[in-house]
Amino acid sequence: MSAKRLMLAAAFGSFALLAGAYLFQALGYAPCKMCLWQRWPHWIAIGLGLLAWFAPTWPVAAAGGLAALTTGGIGVFHTGVERGWWPGPSSCSGGSDLGGLSGTDLLSTDVLDKVVMCDEVSWAFLGLSMASWNAALSFVLAAIWIAAAVRSVRASHGVPGYF
């Protein structure tokens, strides 16, 4: 498979993961703050995939790999927060301070619907949360982006080989 096709496949993988996240959101699984953080690198990877359509160069592939590694890293951190391995951001984990809420917010029951806790698993499959699945699949996408970068460099230097 060419470097360009690998980049497009990896970008499509980010698109598929985002589509899944938005589908879960439409089904009533509201995202927490860290879930939203994990989406931004996927958007960047999709943009890089569009760029790769016209300029399939190794810097584009390397940037895509970095985006996939970033969202994967956030997913690992989020998984650790969910499993209690380390504390999460105080704004969305247990024991958070309430300094960002006004007196009206504190007395209102509506605010409870707005806060989605980062340290609670809302959905899991095969023992893995959405954050864990995002991490695992994002690392696969990172490997695809890196393979594309290697192929792009080899092609630009006239080096034969499949990897």
pLDDT (tens digit, 9 = 90+) per residue, 8-64?
A: 999 999 999 999 999 999 999 899 999 999 999 999 999 999 999 999 899 999 999
Once rounded to an integer, what is the mean pLDDT over residues 80-108?
71
Once rounded to an integer, what is the mean pLDDT over residues 64-80?
96
pLDDT for res 42 = 98
Q: Considering Cα of 117, then 122, then 126, then 132, what sign does the dihedral take?
A: negative
pLDDT for res 121 = 82
pLDDT at 71 exceeding the cut of 70? yes
CA dist 163 and 148 (Å) reads 8
- Domain boundaries of the chain, sorted by first residue: 3-88+120-156
**What is residue 125's three-state secondary structure?**
strand
Residue with tokens 């390397």: 62
Do the Cβ atoms of 7 and 64 come closer than 8 Å? yes
Any bridge partners for residue 144, and if so which? none
**Distances 147 to 8, 19, 20 between C-alpha atoms, Å:** 12, 24, 25
Once rounded to an integer, what is the mean pLDDT over residues 55-75?
96
Do the Cβ atoms of 130 and 27 come closer than 8 Å? no
Residue bearing the bigger pLDDT, 155 or 128: 128
pLDDT for res 123 = 81
Give the other-Cβ count within 10 Å of 84's Cβ.
11
Find, among 38, 2, 6, 44, the residue nearest to 22 by Cα.
38
Give the other-Cβ count within 10 Å of 96's Cβ.
17
pTM greater than 0.85: no
**Contacts with 35 (C-beta within 8 Å, 6 or more apart), sequence order:** 21, 78, 116, 118, 130, 131
pLDDT for res 101 = 56
Q: Name the CATH architecture for the domain at 3-88+120-156.
A: Up-down Bundle (1.20)
pLDDT for res 91 = 78
pLDDT at 111 exceeding the cut of 60? no
Strands (E), the chain: 124-125, 128-129
pLDDT for res 161 = 59
